[in-house]
Amino acid sequence: MRLVVLVPIGSISLLEAPPERAASVAVAVAVLAMWTCGYAWWLSRAGGMVLPLALDVVVMLGASTGPWTGVVGDDNRAPLRLLVTFAAVTYQWYTPPVVGSLAALVTIGGLLGSSVAGGADVSTMSGQGWVLVAAALSRAAWTLVLRAATRADELAAEAERARRAAQVEAAVRADQRELANALHDTAATTMLMVGTGRVPAGAGWLAPQARRDLERMRSDGREPPDRADLVALLREDLEAAHLTVEFEGPEQLPLPFDVARAIADATREALNNVRRHAGVERAVVRLGGAAGGLWLEIADEGTGFATGDVRATSRGLTHSVLGRMRRIGGAAVITSAVGTGTVVRLEWPGGAG
């Protein structure tokens, strides 16, 4: 920053210099500019600041006192004294309080001593004395800025920790919710049907179904793929539905894995409901659309039900179907009435999830 200030100060010095001293003033300004650049580089590279700061104080004293008189002329030192003033103020921005205060006292003391020796008037002396006040105010302002910045960093770190904790908690809740849904849709459904006598304990498909249920709930810790074929997932579940399911749709439909898995799981639960409640053994699954937006319908001609009677706590429809579709940015619409069958329509707009 001092180099930025040095440009107008040097320009003023050159403009005010008499012709016979223009060259010497230009050399003085160039020397100060080179030292300022070197000083900034030294501070950025040095392990400590005491030595470069001490040398800078010596240079600033020279710029405001006797050694420069023969170079720039006594009447042309005011701009250089302005540079010294700015240096004393900016020392407070990167030095410890004691070191910065001592550097300001020495530089301003030298400036005042030079003014006294040169017979400066009272107003000039008073103006230079106020530089100490400016340095003190600079230290106070910098301290407040540092405290505010530190507090802001602490608040930002605290907010980041809270955000990460919330993300972890949300992920844990999502995993728990999906585990509960998977348990409901697979093993619990199979055991319920056996327990209520709807399926004989010796049914040939029961053992393979139990193995599939356990495999679905098992996690080997591997990351899921980025994409999956929705049609392949649907066909895998249709084969294990123990219903006669007519499928109408494309041969393949690649989607983001989370989206494809959620739609396939919601479809499987809708078919489970057909098997458990509809009183029929046939259903139709229709799939339309593409990766940019799709719809899927599960229809049966069973007993149907009054949709208004579905409890909000019902895990099958509320969580395993409606909840899954909401979490990927989609929706599920259930159309049914007693005696008219049921149509469950799943919609995903594309780009969500």
- pLDDT tens, 189-220? 666 666 666 666 566 656 666 666 666 666 54
Distance (Å, whole) CA 60 – CA 95: 16
For residues 9-28, give the mean pLDDT. 72
Contact between 187 and 210 (Cβ < 8 Å)? yes
pLDDT confidence band for 42 (50 / 70 / 90): confident
Return mean pLDDT, the chain.
80
In sequence order, the 6+-apart residues with CB closer than 8 A to the CB of 337 are 304, 305, 306, 307
d(C-alpha 303, C-alpha 310), whole Å: 15
**Structural contact between residues 138 and 90, judged by C-beta atoms closer than 8 angstroms:** yes
223 pLDDT more than 60: yes
Which of 100-104, 183-187, 323-327, 345-349 has the highest mean predicted lDDT (pLDDT)?
A: 345-349
pLDDT band at 151 (very low <50, low <70, confident <90, very high): very high
One-letter amino acid at 82 equals: L
Burial 130-161 (b: 16+ CB within 10 A, else e): ebbebbeebbeebeeeeeeeeeeeeeeeeeee
As a whole number, mean pLDDT of residues 241-264 equals 91
pLDDT above 90 covers a percentage of the chain that reads 26
Distance separating alpha carbons of residues 89 and 135, to the nearest angstrom: 4
pLDDT number for residue 282: 92
Yes or no: say if 315 and 305 are a contact pair by the CB < 8 Å rule.
no
Give me the pLDDT at residue 141, please.
92
Is the distance from CB of 18 to CB of 48 less than 8 angstroms?
no
Q: Which residues are CB-contacts of 47 (< 8 A; sequence separation ≥ 6)?
A: none
Q: Determine the average pLDDT of the residues in 157-171.
A: 88
Contact indicator for 56, 87 with CB cutoff of 8 Å? yes
pLDDT tens digits along 96-128: 889 989 988 888 888 777 777 767 677 777 777
Whether the model clears a pTM of 0.85, i.e. scores above it, the answer is: no
pLDDT grade, residue 347 (50/70/90)?
A: very high
Output 331 or 316, whichever has higher pLDDT: 331
Amino acid at position 111, single letter: L
Collapsing DSSP states into helix, strand and coil, what is residue 295?
Answer: strand
Q: What percent of the chain is helix, strand and coil (3-state, nearest 5)?
A: 65, 10, 20
pLDDT at residue 224, rounded to an integer:
74
For residue range 268-318, list pLDDT tens digits in order.
Answer: 889 988 988 888 989 999 999 888 889 999 999 999 988 877 665 465 677
Place of tokens 């479809």: 267
